Amino acid sequence: MYELYYWPMIQGRGEFVRLALEEAGADYADIARDKNGMEKMLAVMEEGPHPSFAPPFLRHGKKCIGQTATILLYLGDRHNLAPTSETGRLWTQQIQQTLADAVFEAHETHHPVGLGLYYEDQKPEARKRAQEFRKERIPKFLDWFETILTRNPGGTRYLVGKSLTYADLSLFQLVEGLDYAFPKATRRALKKTPKVAALRDAVAKRPRIAAYLASERRIPFNEDGIFRRYPEIDG
Amino acid sequence: MYELYYWPMIQGRGEFVRLALEEAGADYADIARDKNGMEKMLAVMEEGPHPSFAPPFLRHGKKCIGQTATILLYLGDRHNLAPTSETGRLWTQQIQQTLADAVFEAHETHHPVGLGLYYEDQKPEARKRAQEFRKERIPKFLDWFETILTRNPGGTRYLVGKSLTYADLSLFQLVEGLDYAFPKATRRALKKTPKVAALRDAVAKRPRIAAYLASERRIPFNEDGIFRRYPEIDG
């Protein structure tokens, strides 16, 4: 039984962990979404030898693991969502950390000058940052994913080898988020990255992922999360 | 024999890898700093099944590994710069990924609205972002490191257990960088985080690190790197 701790109102970084747990069919509780869950989360953040700097974090027995990519490193080994070879494990983790960079940059588009300020207080700056993100960064990230799919010796269906890894699930989520926040730029980029588009569609159709996406466990995208739809910065 | 590939004029993210290689006494070549090294680096970035999105990356035999924290995961196992237990390895990696977030935010202070624009073209925005970084984020990150040093069951000398890990080397570099870019804010924060300050001093005195810092292999901080000293944003 896993305990996932993350902000209860958004997909955010927690969603990359949720998707792995769902695909694995793992038994988990999304603690902060329960009654008094936020208090529990904030209490756990203050305790133990391994406190996380920020959610998400995962408790499993005595273990408490934070940072999305580190959590996935742990879950990947346990649920056959990563290769067992050292080279394959590292490559999957390298892809995940690159995904994390893209997620970070997506967040910057609405909070370029102050993480603690409201979006409304940094609209002109957000417009500038989002313009570069749409025109330069979305195509650059998706091109890189297309390249590594193309070069995968195991075929173009998955990012690593011949079976699904947590990186595939995360790429699905990144594309979903980009498509929500910047639909025009993302669809333009996806036309040039058909293998990325196909992977996204294939992940969405996996039985456990499809069931999850249709359930109430999947929080809808919204303007408190990482991927936000603000028409004025979609260009 | 390792081959490190990174931009030759800056410490940047490559420095976290250099410090691990130096402490390990590893045999390595800093390829892009050799004659025609940049051409070599750009060529390697285009080849093989595991191309990195960006430098740094490390070649070792047939392996090619990118993303700073992933490279350190690999080197940590090989050079006794991480614990051998699963929990310890994951915790060290979680710390490193949190460090990477701090490094990312440090970079944002001079490039808040355009990664591809010059600093000179985003000075007012940089001033805003840097103000929050100095006042809120530097203290918050250093406090977290102080907390985990305090709670380390192995003592307060190292971040993890009773011996040096790559995370300690990286924390040294983060503090050095913050102190270079934002000396006033960093020194103020360090007064409240004496264990972090002590760890930084202890790392600087390790024989191999001290020799490295005094050598020409250590590139000085400068205004092309991640940590930049712009007096107008130091507050």
Q: Name the residue facing B51 among A53, A125, A148 (closest C-beta).
A: A148
List all residues of chain A from 128 to 147 with a beta carbon under 8 Å from chain B.
128-129, 132, 136-137, 141, 144, 147
Q: CB of A53 within 8 Å of any CB in chain B?
A: yes
H/E run at residue B57: strand B57-60
Work out the mean pLDDT of chain A and round it to a whole number: 97
Interchain contact B155–A (C-beta under 8 A): no
Q: Does A94 touch chain B (CB under 8 A)?
A: yes
Q: What share of chain A is helix, strand, coil (3-state, %, to 5)?
A: 60, 5, 35
Cβ <8 Å between B132 and A141: no
Sequence-distant (6+) residues with CB within 8 A of B189 are: B138, B139, B142, B143
| C-beta of residue A112 within 8 angstroms of C-beta of residue B117 | no
d(CA B164, CA B168): 6
List average pLDDT for each run of 10 residues in chain B, which is 235 residues long. Answer: 97 98 98 95 94 98 97 98 98 98 97 92 94 97 98 98 98 98 97 98 98 98 96 83
Instruction: Name the 3-class secondary structure at A105.
Output: helix
Tokens matching residue A37: 């869950």
B172 touches chain A (CB under 8 A): no
Kindly report, residue by residue over A5-38, the tens digit of the pLDDT: 999 999 999 999 999 999 999 999 999 999 999 9
Cα-to-chain-centroid distance, residue B232 = 24
A151 in contact with B, Cβ within 8 Å: yes
pLDDT of residue A59: 98
In the block, tokens 């970070």 appear at: A104
Cβ distance of A113 and B101 shorter than 8 Å: no
CB contact under 8 A, B128 and A141: no
Burial A23-46 (b: 16+ CB within 10 A, else e): bbeeebebbbbeeebbeebeebbe
**Angstroms from B140 CA to nearest CA on chain A:** 9
Chains A and B: how many Cβ contacts under 8 Å?
A: 124
| Cβ pair B70:A63 closer than 8 A | no
The dihedral sign for the CA sequence B50, B115, B223, B97: negative
Closest approach of chain B CAs to the CA of A161, in angstroms? 11
Quote the pLDDT of residue B22.
98
DSSP letter for B135, please.
I
Residues of chain A positioned with their CB less than 8 A from the CB of B136: 115-116
Which whole number is the average pLDDT over A90-104?
Answer: 98
Q: What is the C-alpha separation between B46 and B52, in angstroms, rounded?
A: 9
CB of B73 within 8 Å of a chain A CB? The answer is yes
The pLDDT score that the predictor gives to residue B235 is 73
Instruction: Closest CB to B97: pick one of A50, A69, A144.
Output: A69
Instruction: Specify the DSSP class assigned to residue B64.
Output: E
pLDDT tens column, A209-233: 999 999 999 999 999 999 999 988 8
In A, which residues are within 8 Å of B116 by CB distance? 132, 136
Chain B residue closest in CA terms to A126: B113
pLDDT of residue B99: 98
ipTM: 0.98
Distance in angstroms (rounded) separating the CA atoms of residues B176 and B179: 5
Chain B residues with CB-CB distance to A154 below 8 A: none
- Asked if B148 has any chain A CB less than 8 Å from its own CB, the reply is yes
Cβ separation A66–B114 shorter than 8 A = no
Give the C-alpha distances (Å, rounded to integers) separating A44 from A2, A3, A57, A64.
14, 11, 10, 9
CA distance A120 to chain B (A): 15
Q: In what order do the strands lie in the sheet with B2-5?
A: B28-30, B2-5, B57-60, B63-66
* CA-only gyration radius of chain B, Å: 18
Chain B interface, mutation test: which of A46, A70, A99, A105, most B Cβ atoms within 10 Å?
Answer: A70
DSSP states along A21-47: HHHHT--EEEGGGSTTHHHHHHHHHTS
Percent of chain A surpassing pLDDT 70: 100
Mean pLDDT, residues A191-202: 98
Could you tell me if B64 lies within 8 Å of chain A, comparing CB atoms?
A: no
User: Which residue of B lies nearest to A137 if distances are taken between CA atoms?
Assistant: B115
A156 touches chain B (CB under 8 A): no
Q: How far is CA B80 from CA A63, A89, A109, B135, B189, in A?
A: 22, 19, 40, 36, 31
Cα-based angle A145, A75, B18 (whole degrees, multiple of 5): 60
Q: What is the model's pLDDT at position A110?
A: 95
Gap from A31 CA to chain B (nearest CA, Å): 21
Query: What's the CA gap between A93 and B108, in Å, rounded?
Result: 24
pLDDT given for residue A235 in this prediction? 73
